[in-house]
Structure 1
Amino acid sequence: MKKAYCLGTLLLCGLIISGCGSDTSKLEDKIDKISTKVSKLDKEIDKLSKTGIDISKSSSEKTYTKTKDSKEKSKESTTNDSKKEPLKDLFAKDAIAQDEHAKIQVTKVDFVESTSPVYESSGLVVVYYTLENLGTENIAPYLKTSSYIYVSEEDDVSDTRIQDNGLSGYDAFKKLYENSTLNIKPKAKIETASAYHIKNEDKNIKVQIGTYEFTSSGEESVAAKTFTPKEIKKAYKKNEKIKNDQDKD
């Protein structure tokens, strides 16, 4: 297209010269200059064509294309950001709560009906977990539990957190309780457990794990699992021989 235009220009100049008679010296000089410029332009067009640049597109078309591509990328980015990763099952291999201080993974959740008479509750939620110290100072598991494990009583109306009360007084959990009171060195890992008193046996028990930011309200957890009253009572029956020392005759 560009080359055709340039050739047309030269032809027009030739016709002008033919009609001007003898006084053509100045016009010839101008035409020589135009020819030189056209020759340079042809070379530039050839270079652009070889590099794969489409010179037929106008600036406005290119600007529109860039703007459209930018909007599409922005839309795609927003869509990806709005998609949250699905909540993991509490017992999945990659269900881990971790920050710069510790790494915690729940290995088991059980329920025991027998509790200390000091507490008004129908039973215990026992959460078994492994704890690895990732920090630079010693840590005590029983002090760290509340920052990573969130246990609550849940129904269609409410979700109420229940606090960790320890496992003291149970022979069946003696070793786990002792581990929870140790000062764990950096890079060390132990198996331990925490207990939570059930206040309303008609509600579901929900166990979640996450880092410090989520534990105040139970939001933004990494993994979770809900246990129904039926499942809890079944566990009570299985663990009916587990007694608190104060319950023994």
Structure 2
Amino acid sequence: MDPIQSPTQQPPPEVFVTQPKPNYLKTILFSILLIITVGLISYLIFQNQKLQKQVINPSVSPTIQVPSPTSQSVSPTPKTVSSISIPPDETAGWKVYKNERFGFQLKYPVNYEVSNKNPNGESTYIMPIGFNKMDEQERGFSSFININVLTSDSNSTPETFVSSAKGPGFDDKRDIKTITIDGKPAIQFMSNNTQLGSGDETNTVIATNQKKELIIISISAQGNSDPYLFPNQILSTFKFTSEN
């Protein structure tokens, strides 16, 4: 009996797997793009540094001016400077009257003197030196200053006082206006000269700092074509000296 032979096993068929070919084109393109990018970045950095150096240290090219024959023969025209005339302070060197009680002061001319000064500072005359020895004609051409301080009630102001005051110097008041003296409002008006009986005088009413008193400054303008010239010079020097 023949032995049983096992079937012969044949080897499995070989399977060939195709390997992908390397894509050299992509590698080349990527390398070129990378080189361009790096080069562009380097160029921008270089230009930025160069620009910064130019800003910090700008190059200045020397300029040489060659005078033309015309410029050599023509002399420069001098500029005309307009002069500004400042009026002198006509009150410089004047005497100073101080009222310590009511806390104010003003200036008056050097040829004037304080006369008939009230000890309480409520009434003061400032007159030309030797006024009492002048004849009537000389007095008619002389100006003087009369300062009176009146105690006012709580409701009295320069406006209400001037509008309600009666008597010599107030009955014929005219040209009433509001002015400013040392930063404070005051009332000014014109009236007849009650002291000498002729001419005009300027009356100015201003309240003290505490508004407890009214200061009345009467200034005559004898012999002056402008009745406000001398009074305004005096009033321009008025100052409060204390918070009385």
TM-score (norm: length of structure 1)? 0.26
RCO higher in structure (CA 8 A, sep ≥6): 1
TM-score (norm: length of structure 2)? 0.26
